[in-house]
Amino acid sequence: MSPTELSSPFSLQNEIVAITGGGTGIGLAMAHAMHAAGARVLLIGRREAELAAAVKSLGERASFFVHDVTQLDAAPTLVERITREVGPITCLVNNAGIHLKKPAVETTPEEFERVLRTHIVGAHALIRAVAPGMIERKRGSILFTASMASLFGIPLVIAYTAAKSAMVGMVKGYAVELSPHGIRVNAIAPGWIETEMSRKALDGDPTRKNKILSRTPMAKLGLPEDIGWAAVYLTSPAARFVTGVTLPVDGGVSIGF
């Protein structure tokens, strides 16, 4: 799909979008959708080979930068390099994350802290580096990838739940501080999406898969591009009056019974 096939309110032409964790899964799906909408897409992650392959799949208007979001002091250097080599970031997508499946009472403080550092503190470090330029230009968009764990309790993922729940608060807090400067801040809360990771988890556990589907009013898993197109909407002119929102893209899981 080319940018000209999209209605102009959904165009991301002239936008420079940086996506952390953009080399695989939902991050790459957002990259493809935002690229199709006309954006210059920058993939940020730790694994160069994955990033290079992802950029190749996107083609022109795509590049990558190797960066570990937990290296907090390196965030300003990364943003300076991107600004120098490509241009100022106009949209930051905080998508990088790690998972930890473990009973809460067995989760060590060190493990808990590692999850928070990746999802929350790393995102904050990048925002601190990117936001001053957006404030100066009086425009920008910041997007978080939240989760169903932001909205209700899920067993065995206490650190992940804490991190994703914190994102909802961060979205609201950043929105009230930055929106007066023309910077919108929002999040997407994906439901259960069909990715390589979810297939590995669910194909060997039909009971869990059936439980998920039974609790999903649309009775199916989402596709990565469902999250991608939601990202296009929230960062496009079509959502110019939308800020501080966490949008579930979940087939109805969060409102179903």
Note the CATH architecture for domain 3-193+223-248.
3-Layer(aba) Sandwich (3.40)
The residues that are catalytic are: 160
Quick one: pLDDT at residue 197? 72
Q: What is the distance between the alpha carbons of residues 48 and 34, in angstroms, rounded to a whole number?
A: 21
- Sign, CA dihedral 216-224-36-17, equals positive
Q: Quote the pTM value.
A: 0.94
How many of the other CB atoms lie within 10 Å of CB of 152? Answer: 10
Contact 222, 154 (CB under 8 A): no
C-alpha–C-alpha distance, residues 125 and 70, integer Å: 9
Whether the Cβ atoms of residue 243 and residue 185 lie closer than 8 Å to each other: yes
Question: Whole-angstrom Cα distance, residue 252 to residue 61?
Answer: 34
Say how far apart CA 162 and CA 243 lie, in whole Å.
Answer: 22
Domain spans, the chain: 3-193+223-248
pLDDT at site 7:
57
Q: Give the integer Cα–Cα distance in Å for 24 and 44.
A: 11
46 backbone dihedrals φ, ψ, rounded to 5°: -90, -25
One digit per residue, the tens of pLDDT, for the chain of length 257 reads 454 455 589 999 999 999 999 999 999 999 999 999 999 999 999 999 999 999 999 999 999 999 999 999 999 999 999 999 999 999 999 999 999 999 999 999 999 999 999 999 999 999 999 999 999 999 999 999 999 999 999 999 999 999 999 999 999 999 999 999 999 999 999 999 998 777 877 888 889 889 989 999 999 999 999 999 999 999 999 999 999 999 999 999 999 87
Please give the pLDDT value at position 4.
47
Q: Write down the pLDDT at residue 148.
A: 95
